[in-house]
Structure 1
């Protein structure tokens, strides 16, 4: 009731506030609508018995304008039916829908989770966790990964198959974070609790529940949430960051210092964090600092072409064209697809032209 005056409260007594939205059940999240099943029969199962061709037909149905014409939308955490109807999806919604459709046409598909990507974002001083999932396909002894976002940077281990329950934990956790962002705290709690029903060891949900309890000034509950998250994964950076802030707020400087030390150790070993530091340094014109951070990222994860590209860019901005050319060459060699390699080649050619012009003078 904070911020409401008595007059408004009296005027509104006859109208109860709407209850927080009830999270869909797991069956409702994964349900394929009737018109989608009809399209699958018409365009996939009735056309071929070959698994390879069925996969090709399914990809065409999802992405071609004559089918769904699916569009990428980072904020679209939707059920399978909602994704089908709205023709938009983030990586999670795409994964849930594609796996459901693939299984419907007899293909062997599972959800996969990337253990570490650039997995967190900051809002109003709080760190939220945003994991990443994609589709794993198996066919005639071969394995393939389908990912809606070609720009995602994986860790060294790459994607790993997860249970449907854990994938659903991602869904409910994402929905909870969306509700938290608009300050619908009751709805956010329902979604986080559903995530933990799906997977009681799902660290991002414990961490985000801690953020919620901290916002509601229930500091003991927030402390318990973060403690559980860190008992499952002691190096979980968002939990360490938020717990450090919480204990500072509670006046427990000793515990805050311990957690901050662990956080710094975790960050020093995290190539993704070093990469983000490089990006931030580059944005403010600290190109020497950017070089240092990008070099740390490359040292920790040397096969990521994005890291070498960042380092090449930073070297170029410091005037070190020789090192920029070397790193751009590595980025091109590691580039994930023909399009990226072509982009890197064009930038490499530009650096070489500039170096030749400087040499001529």
Structure 2
């Protein structure tokens, strides 16, 4: 996933050790380069076995996902070049998008990068993950539009995927890499990647926000404030930048600016169905089902077509002992979920009905 945005105070280092200079970021051409052996496979398994664009797309999907091809596996931390993705057989949503778009264009298909403002993803081993950014592949085949996403357990925001330029997609790449270097305390390497991201897209808010975090870690608070002000001048409601700015101004003792940032954050949260939903899941985990239902109702009010939100509200009602309202929300989740979720929700709805029948028979 994309977008690391967290402010962490600088930890003092007592010893300065000489280290080799970090490798410079790969050029855009190096990021997107297709290895010669992959071009050979495209000729043999795709172009040589398919005539129509639809057939080529199907063959490409098989080449990327089937074990006898790439057998691509999902890895949230794998921000890789096209060649590295092929070699390592793993990718996050960004690496997959770069790879698939490059290969699709190589075989003559119309492919583009797409961006989603924010998403919530579901993982059994990690729970819920909120991301302030996501990318996927947009295709146009025989006059029909299609979206390909490596992450199948994802709920998009209301706008859904929007086409972006290759430069902006590469800004995501460099920003991700910079965030990884920042987390590893390699500030020289992180700066090089953030600078590369901003060369690709000077208005890329996440890179300005993360650069502000970097400057803060290096104790240059004035530079950090300038970077975060730049981020917020481009998008004054960018929640991660507001969060980082709040922490920075708290550190600087600027209570007036802290109050401004917190007020703006609160405005965003009141209008953000994903924030309300995440608050609901937190209350549900804590066993406060009345509070969970409150937050889930707000999420539904703000984004009524998300079946996951209705399912959350149904759970809160059920766990709070209100089976009648639980059934109502479960029906709505079923009707919005489509296949295969319809069968899952119908099964849960039948279970509530059986409980109600037992209680009525007593």
Give how far 1:138 is off. Answer: 0.5
Q: Which residue of 2 aligns with 1:283?
A: 285
Determine whether 1:169 maps to 2:171: yes
Q: Which of 16, 23, 37 is 1:35 aligned to? A: 37
Local SS of the residue matching 1:356: helix
Task: Give the superposed CA RMSD.
Answer: 1.7
Aligned to 2:191: 189
Q: Find the counterpart in structure 2 of residue 356 from structure 1.
A: 357
SS of match in other structure, 1:334: helix
* Partner of residue 236 from structure 2, selected from 229, 234, 238: 234
TM-superposition CA deviations, 1:250-297 (whole Å, max 9, x none): 111011101111110011001111111111111111111111111101
1:223 aligned residue: 225
Residue number among 102, 105, 122 corresponding to 2:104 in the alignment: 102
In 1: Cα distance, 2:325 partner to 2:204 partner = 42
Distance 1:203 1:3, change over 3 A: closer
Number of equivalenced pairs: 344
Distance 1:93 1:238, change over 3 A: same
Residue 231 of structure 1, CA deviation: 0.6
Q: Which residue of 1 aligns with 2:50?
A: 48
Superposed displacement of residue 140, structure 1? 2.1
Match of 1:125 in 2: none
Summarize deviations over 1:198-254 as a string: whole Å, max 9, x none.
001111111111111122221111111111111111111111111112112111101
Give the TM-score normalised by the residue count of structure 2: 0.91
1:317-328 to structure 2, matched below 5 A, reads 317-328=319-330
Please give the alpha-carbon distance, in whole angstroms, between the structure 2 residues aligned to 1:237 and 1:130.
Answer: 8
Distance 1:327 1:308 in 2: 5
Q: 1:130 Cα shift? A: 4.6
Higher deviation after alignment, 278-287 or 102-111: 278-287
Aligned to 1:208: 210
* In 2: Cα distance, 1:351 partner to 1:217 partner: 57
Aligned counterparts of 1:87 and 1:61: Cα–Cα separation in 2: 12
Q: More deviation in 208-217 or 190-199?
A: 208-217
Q: Which residue of 244, 249, 252 maps to 1:250?
A: 252
Contact map agreement 1:131 1:170 (CA 8 A) in 2: no
Equivalent residue in structure 1 for 2:143, among 134, 141, 144: 141
Aligned to 2:335: 333
The answer to whether the 8 A contact 2:119-2:131 is kept is: no
- Give CA deviations for 1:306-349 in whole Å, capped at 9, x if unaligned: 111111111111111111111111111111x5232222222222
Q: Distance in 2 between matches of 1:102 and 1:240?
A: 38
How far apart, in 1, do the equivalents of 2:196 and 2:342 lie? 43
CA distance in 2, matches of 1:328, 1:41: 49
- Does structure 1 conserve the Cα–Cα contact (< 8 Å) formed by 2:269 and 2:275? yes
Is the CA contact (8 Å cut-off) linking 2:50 and 2:59 kept in structure 1?
Answer: no
Tell me how far apart the structure 1 counterparts of residues 334 and 322 of structure 2 sit (CA, whole Å).
Answer: 18
* Deviation by residue 1:59-89 (Cα, 9 ceiling, x = unmatched): 0101111111111111111110011111111
Does residue 347 of the first structure (1) align with residue 348 of the second (2)? yes
Displaced runs of 4+ in structure 1, greater than 3 A?
A: 1-5
SS in 2 for 1:68: coil
Structure 1 window deviating more from structure 2 (89-98 vs 181-190): it is 181-190
Task: Give the whole-Å Cα distance in 2 for the aligned partners of 1:309 and 1:41.
Answer: 46
Which is further off, 349-358 or 296-305? 349-358
**Structure 1, unpaired ranges of 5+:** 120-127
Contact 1:118 1:273 in 2 (8 A): no
**Equivalent residues in 2 for 1:291-302 (5 A)?**
291-302=293-304
Report the Cα distance in structure 1 between the residues aligned to 2:322 and 2:117, rounded to whole angstroms: 35
Specify the alignment match of 2:114 in structure 1: 112
